Every structure is written in C-alpha cells, then in structure tokens.
Structure 1
Amino acid sequence: MSSHLITTTWKGNMQFESTNPGGSLMIDAAEEVGGTNNGLRPKALMLSALSGCSGLDVASLIKKMRLEVTDFNIETQGFLTDTEPQVYEKVTVTYHFYGSNLNEEKLNRAVELSVEKYCGVMHMFRSFAEVKIEVVFVHK
C-alpha cells in the first residue's frame, strides 16, 4: 500500500509550514479570523489538489496523443455550505485550451479520461460534492 507523509509545523499565531514529497508551502488564515494572510488556505488547497491532479493527467495525455496545445489552464471554483463546518458541496472545474490547431475531440477525451479514470483527487471530491466539468477552446 502506498502512502504519503505530510509534516505540518506550527510557525506561530495562525501560520503553519507544510511539507510534502515535492516541497513545502505556508498555510495561514485570513486577517478577519486572526491570521496574517501570509499563506494558503486549507480548503482552497483542496481545490488546487483537484486541479493539479487532473492537470497532470491531461498534460500527460496531451503529450501521449501528440496534441498541439499552446497553453492550458484550469479554473476550479468550490461552493461551500452555509452551515458549520463549511464543506464544498458543489465544484466547477473548467479546462481552458489555447492554440491554433486544437483537436477538440481528443482534448475532450483527455479531460474525460482524467475525470472518469485517472484522477484520484477527482474521485475523492465526487464522493462528497457535485462536480461539474466544463471545457473551453480558444483558437488563436
């Protein structure tokens, strides 16, 4: 069984440093709840994990399929419940592909493979939130 060990160390006040196998990052709270805005927010990091996981899949598939893509980004928006503890109940993941010779059919397939088969973070999210997928093509 594979595992990941993350070490998160308190740096004072509301700030923590979290390390994972690829590096480290700072976590902090907003000023209105006692933080100093000098780090990333834990819930938003979950959205980064989601888009990063799927993005790695899609980037790999772009390479394997030999697709021409000038640029690509993913916007991920999470909608929280109104009750405490606030959790994501809806998430929209929008893939933006840019290029002059985009193969929309194959790019849609790459996204579909990530969403349905490869991205473990996507599967985790789908167990607790409604996840909507959108794909946007910008031909330039």
Structure 2
Amino acid sequence: MELNFQMKDEGFLGELPYGEIHISGNDDFGFRPGQLMVSSIAVCSASVLKNVLKKKRLDVQDMKVTAQATRNPDEANRIEKINIHFVIKGTGITEDVVEKAVELARKHCPMVQSVKDSIEIEENFEIIRLSI
C-alpha cells in the first residue's frame, strides 16, 4: 500500500481512492494524526466484530463504538492505551456470545494486531436488547 501526501501551509493533503484527507497537528486544518490512529483501531475492530456477529447469524440492528485514548505526556504524548466500547442493539444477543466475538475480533483486526505490543487495547461492550 502506497499513500502520498502533499505539504500545505498547515499540514498535509492526501489524495486517496475515496477522496481527500487533510491531516494537521492543528484541529482547524484537518484531522490530527492521533485521531486517525485511534479511529483506525476502533473502526477496524468494530468492522471485524460486526462481521463475526453476522457470521454467527445474530440479529444486530445497530452498533456504536466509542474510543478513549490515554496518552503519556512524558513520552512525546504517545498513545499508551485505547479503550474501545461497543454498544450493540439487537434481539437474541447474549453476553457470552458477544464476549467470544470480541475476542475473535481482537485476533483478526489488522490494526489491533499491528499495535498490540506497544498500545494496550481494552474492549468492553453493552447490549441493548430490542423486543421482537
């Protein structure tokens, strides 16, 4: 995979197949690199979890994901931990099944696997059961 970025006054511009992405250390001019990293990890994990739940033929009608990063200001403000919280809405969904699905998602998410030895990833979830 090759990505190309062009310098601009405040940050960089990337031309990607889906469109442009503006990246900057300043919120006024684009996405911050840390936001992109945490987003990549959280959404990758959620996408793999969605696919695992689908393969288990669960009736998932909605899923939201929240990511909270903990940074270390003494080490270049590096990301040390990311908590990923899934809110899953559906019918017939149990904690046991989702817990196993989250474990599978962790093992099969390329972004989580890429950072697992340097960033602590913690996942948790809640289930909102919908009436049939």
TM-score category (smaller protein) = 0.7 to 0.9
Aligned twin of 1:118: 108
Aligned twin of 2:23: 27
Q: 1:15 is matched by which residue type in structure 2?
A: G
The DSSP-based 3-state class of the residue aligned with 1:138 is strand
The DSSP-based 3-state class of the residue aligned with 2:59 is coil
Q: CA deviation at 1:21?
A: 4.9
Q: Is the 1:98–1:139 Cα contact (8 Å) retained in structure 2?
A: yes
Gaps spanning 5+ residues in structure 2: where? none
Q: Is the 1:67–1:103 Cα contact (8 Å) retained in structure 2?
A: no
Aligned twin of 2:2: 5
Q: CA deviation at 1:139?
A: 2.0
How far apart in 2 are the matches of 1:114 and 1:22?
A: 25
Q: Is the 1:5–1:20 Cα contact (8 Å) retained in structure 2?
A: no
Q: TM-score, normalised by structure 1?
A: 0.81
How far apart in 2 are the matches of 1:101 and 1:19?
A: 43
Alignment of 1:30-69 (within 5 A): 30=26, 37-69=28-60
**Any runs of at least 4 consecutive aligned residues in structure 1 with deviations exceeding 6 A, and if so which?**
none
Q: 2:57 is matched by which residue type in structure 1?
A: R
Aligned-residue identity in percent = 24
Gaps spanning 5+ residues in structure 1: where? 31-35
Q: TM-score, normalised by structure 2?
A: 0.86
How far apart in 2 are the matches of 1:19 and 1:112?
A: 34
How far apart in 2 are the matches of 1:58 and 1:76?
A: 15
Pair 1:137 & 2:127 matched: yes
The DSSP-based 3-state class of the residue aligned with 1:47 is helix
Tell me how many residue pairs correspond in the alignment: 130
Candidates 14, 17, 21, aligned match of 2:13: 17
